[in-house]
Amino acid sequence: MKKILVTGGAGFIGSNFVNYILTNRDDLFLVNLDKLTYAGNLENLKEVENHKNYSFIKGDITNNELVDYLFKKYSFNYVINFAAESHVDRSILGSEVFFRSNVVGTNVLLEASRRYGIEKFVQISTDEVYGSLGPTGLFTETTPVSPNSPYSSSKAASDLMALSFFHTFGLPVVITRCSNNYGPFQFPEKLIPLMIINSLNGKKLPVYGDGLNVRDWVYVIDHNRAVEIVLEQGKAGEVYNIGASREMKNINIVKLILSKLTKPEGLIEYVKDRPGHDRRYAIDSSKIQNELGWKPEFDFENAINETIEWYLKNKNWWQGIITGEYQKYYKTLYGDR
Ligand code: NAD
Ligand code: TYD
C-alpha cells in the first residue's frame, strides 16, 4: 500500500481528490494534513471520514516539527501539495498569509521530502503563474512565468522553488499548472459558486470591470484525474499544463447561471475592476495529453448543469459557510450591495 501525504485535502480541489481516490482506488493510503482555514471544511469529507485507507490531521504545513513527525511516522511514498491560500481578491486585501502558507509551507514540505526521501512530490500550481494573455495564443509549459497578483506570485515562487529542489537535490518533483476549476464544494468566494448563491438569494451579481475577462474552465474531477496520472507517470522535473480548452468570458458564465436558475439579468451589477486583473487565461494541455494520455472527460454544458444542481441540493453546505467571517469578507470587498 503506497502512502500519500495530501495537504489541503479539506479544501475544494483537495477534498474532491480525496473523495475521488478513496472511491476509485484501494491501493493508496491518504493522510490529509489541513489547517482548516476559512476554506477548509470537514463536511466535504463526510463520506470518507471513516474509510480504512484515510487519516485526517489538523495542522499547518509551515509547522516543521509536525511535518517531520508525520514523515517519520508514515514513511510517505508521495506528497501532493494542494494546501494554499487560493483567492486572488483576498491576496489583494492582505498578502502576508499567502507567502507564509504557499511559499514557506511548500519549503517545509520540500525539505522534509528531501530528508526522508520520497518517490514523487506533486506541486499543485496554477496557470496564473504565466500572467495574462492578449486576445490570442495559449499558455504552454515554456511560456515564461510572469505572475501579476500576490496570489499568483506566491504560487510561482513555490512552483519554481519545487523545481529548484529537483535541479539541485534530485528530488523527484513534478509541477501541474491547471486552469480555473469548477464543481462541488467550491468555496463561495469564487466566481461560479458566488454567482449561483447570490442568484438564489436574489442578491446583486458583482461583475468586475467590463465582464469580458476570459477564464478557461475545467471540471474538478478532470483536474484530479490528471493529478492521479501525473503522480504515477509524470516525469521528475517536468511541468504539465492541465485544461479543457473551454474559454468563457465572465459575463457569459454569469448570464448562463442566471438563465439556468431562471433569474433576471437585472441582478447583474458591473462593479469596479479588480486591481491588476488578468485579462485572459487559456491553456495548451497537449503535453499531458500526448505524453501521459490524459484528456478531459467532462463536457462543460453537462458539468456546469450538474454543478448548479449540486448547489441547489446542498443549500445546507453553503448556508453554513456564508455567515460570520464570510459576511465580513463580503462587506469589505463588495460593500453593502
Ligand atoms: P481552497 O482555498 O478551496 O482550499 C485550500 C485548502 O488548503 C483549505 O482546506 C485550507 O484549509 C488548506 N490550507 C491553507 N493553508 C494551509 C496551511 N498553511 N497548512 C495546511 N493547510 C492549509 O483551494 P482550492 O481551490 O481547492 O485550490 C487547491 C490548490 O489548487 C491550491 O494550491 C491552488 O493554488 C491550486 N489551484 C486552484 C485552482 C482553482 O481553480 N481553484 C486552479 C489551479 C490551481
Ligand atoms: P475567480 O473565481 O476569483 O478566479 P481567478 O481570479 O483565480 O481566475 O475569478 C474568476 C473571474 O471572475 C476573474 O476574471 C474575476 C471575475 N470575478 C468577478 O467578475 N466578480 C466576482 O465577484 C469574482 C469573485 C470574480
Cα 152 to averaged position of ligand 2 atoms, centre (Å)? 13
Short-list 260, 253, 255, CA closest to 217: 253
CA distance 155 to 125: 6
| CATH code at 2-181+218-242 | 3.40.50.720
Nearest CA, atom 25, ligand 2:
191
Cα 24 to averaged position of ligand 2 atoms, centre (Å)? 32
pLDDT at 43: 97
pLDDT at 337: 78
Averaged pLDDT in 10-residue chunks for the chain of 337 residues: 98 98 98 98 98 98 98 98 98 98 98 98 98 98 98 98 98 98 98 98 97 98 98 98 98 98 98 98 98 98 98 97 94 92
Nearest CA, atom 15, ligand 1:
84
Half-sphere exposure of 289 (CA within 13 A, CB side): 13
141 an active-site residue?
A: no
Q: Confirm if 198 and 262 have CB atoms less than 8 A apart.
A: no
Short-list 182, 184, 327, 316, CA closest to 256: 182
Using a 6 Å cutoff on CB, does residue 180 contact ligand 2? Answer: yes
pLDDT at 221: 98
Mutate to test the pocket of ligand 1, among 12, 67, 194 (most ligand atoms within 8 A of CB): 12
Instruction: From the candidates 54, 151, 240, 311, give the one annotated as an active-site residue.
Output: 151
Give pTM, 2 decimals.
0.98
Short-list 43, 2, 38, CA closest to 328: 38
* Segment 92-134, tens digit of pLDDT: 999 999 999 999 999 999 999 999 999 999 999 999 999 999 9
CA distance 131 to 148: 6
Using a 6 Å cutoff on CB, does residue 86 contact ligand 1? Answer: yes
pLDDT at 271: 98
According to DSSP, the residues that pair with 78 across neighbouring strands are 4, 120
Q: Confirm if 277 and 213 have CB atoms less than 8 A apart.
A: yes
Q: How far is CA 229 from CA 30, 122, 176, in A?
A: 16, 11, 11
Record the cell numbers describing residue 314, joined without a space: 446542498
Q: How many CB atoms lie within 10 A of CB 188?
A: 18
* Segment 283-331, tens digit of pLDDT: 999 999 999 999 999 999 999 999 999 999 999 999 999 998 999 999 9
Q: Confirm if 168 and 213 have CB atoms less than 8 A apart.
A: no
151 an active-site residue?
A: yes
Using a 6 Å cutoff on CB, does residue 173 contact ligand 1? Answer: no
Q: Mark residue 170 as left, alpha or beta (left: phi above 0; alpha: psi -120 to 50; beta: remaining).
A: left
Q: How many CB atoms lie within 10 A of CB 174?
A: 23
Record the cell numbers describing residue 55, joined without a space: 487519516
Query: Can you state the angle between helices 191-200 and 300-313, rounded to 10 degrees?
Result: 50
Cα 266 to averaged position of ligand 1 atoms, centre (Å)? 33
CA dihedral of 26, 32, 36, 42, whole degrees rounded to 10:
20
Q: Confirm if 21 and 92 have CB atoms less than 8 A apart.
A: no
First to last CA, the chain: 52
pLDDT at 336: 86
CA-based radius of gyration for the chain: 19
CA distance 210 to 270: 7
Record the cell numbers describing residue 77, joined without a space: 511514498
* Alpha helices, H only, 133-235: 150-169, 191-200, 220-233
